Amino acid sequence: MKTLSHNQIRTWRNCKRQYGFGYVQLRVPRKTPTPLLVGRSWDDCLQEWWQGEGAQDRLLRAAKVAMHEGDPFARAKLCAMLIGYSAMWGDVPCRLIATQVEFTVPIVHPVTGAVHPECNLTGFIDAVAEIDGRLVVVESKSSGEDITLGSAFWRRVAVMDPQVSTYLPAARALGYDVRDCIYDVARKPELRPKKDETPDAFQERIVLDMHARPEWYFQRQTLVRLEREEREHALDVWHFADEIVSASRTGRYPRNPDQCQKFGRACDYAPVCAGEASLDDPHLFKDAAKRERKDNAGTNSARPAA
């Protein structure tokens, strides 16, 4: 039985050839883009943050993780984000139930009720927690986009974000009585170090900017999924699974030139698709026996009591 994750399906939607390179031939770029490194570091910090009790304890726990960041200015930015995040949310009443909740669930056709014969859906939920007296799924993000209320970011995720549409029914399948998802977003600072500025001064400048406009940097919104919205998402997943299975039989993974340039940078596989580089070049690519980072992470999770 093949297992599909959110990242695999997202890559499939974006570019079939990229999927083939990364998830079939298991060759991934040797250098990880900086935005992804920041996002991963933030995820690691928040895993520890959620274990704490109150703003100060949470901040101290997460800061210990941030200290592993080797670049002093990247570390200063990460610590500033944690200070602002903890000031914003650290004292919100919350009882952690589980973090990094692993799930593997069948892909079910929402019309016929059939179970997909060749694929399951797998992943990790960032956290399940009791916030303001209700049990919720927590999905945490760092973003370079405008996350203020009314922005295009929230118009996109409010109804169609596939992780929310996946994690809510997955949590219920594990026995958690959840209806809501707290979508927790931190905006990555755009400030850059000034000439001769020390990391400590850089961190302080970011913290002051966060204090002046906290809502620009930190947002939490409660998202729900109506029955028809979950049905539409389930249909999408079913058909993506069919397409992936079909491609695995034919060995054909078409290119999508519209995705060769995204977020101001070229796709790492673009030179290979253009015939200018080889997927076997050890300076550009490496083997990835386990492609999914979160889907292979260690867990600290608990199932609901029977």
| pLDDT tens-digit map of 175-194 | 999 999 999 999 999 999 99
Per-residue pLDDT tens over the stretch 191-238: 999 999 999 999 999 999 999 999 999 999 999 999 999 999 999 999
Quote the pTM value: 0.86
Evaluate if residue 162 carries a pLDDT over 90.
yes
Q: Grade residue 93 by pLDDT with cuts at 50, 70 and 90.
A: confident
Q: Grade residue 302 by pLDDT with cuts at 50, 70 and 90.
A: very low
The pLDDT of 66-83, averaged and rounded, is 93
Q: What string of DSSP letters covers the chain?
A: -EEE-HHHHHHHHH-HHHHIIIIIS-EEESSPPHHHHHHHHHHHHHHHHTTSSHHHHHHHHHHHHHTT--SHHHHHHHHHHHHHHHHHHTTS-EEEEEEEEEEEEEEE-TTT-PEEEEEEEEEEEEEEEEETTEEEEEEEEEESS--STTSHHHHHHHHH-HHHHHHHHHHHHTT----EEEEEEEEPP---PPTT--HHHHHHHHHHHHHH-HHHHEEEEEE---HHHHHHHHHHHHHHHHHHHHHHHHT-----GGGSEETTEE-TTHHHHTTSS-TT-TTTEEE-SS--SGGGS--B--PPP-
Evaluate if residue 62 carries a pLDDT over 70.
yes
The pLDDT of 124-143, averaged and rounded, is 93
At residue 39, the pLDDT reads 79
Q: Where are the domains of the chain?
A: 2-29+93-247
Per-residue pLDDT tens over the stretch 14-56: 999 999 999 999 999 988 776 677 778 999 999 999 998 889 9
Percentage above 70 pLDDT, the chain: 93
At residue 288, the pLDDT reads 86
At residue 264, the pLDDT reads 77
CATH topology of domain 2-29+93-247: Lambda Exonuclease; Chain A (3.90.320)
Kindly report the average pLDDT of the chain as a whole number: 90
The pLDDT of 1-9, averaged and rounded, is 94
Per-residue pLDDT tens over the stretch 230-255: 999 999 999 999 999 999 999 999 99
At residue 141, the pLDDT reads 93
Evaluate if residue 295 carries a pLDDT over 80.
no
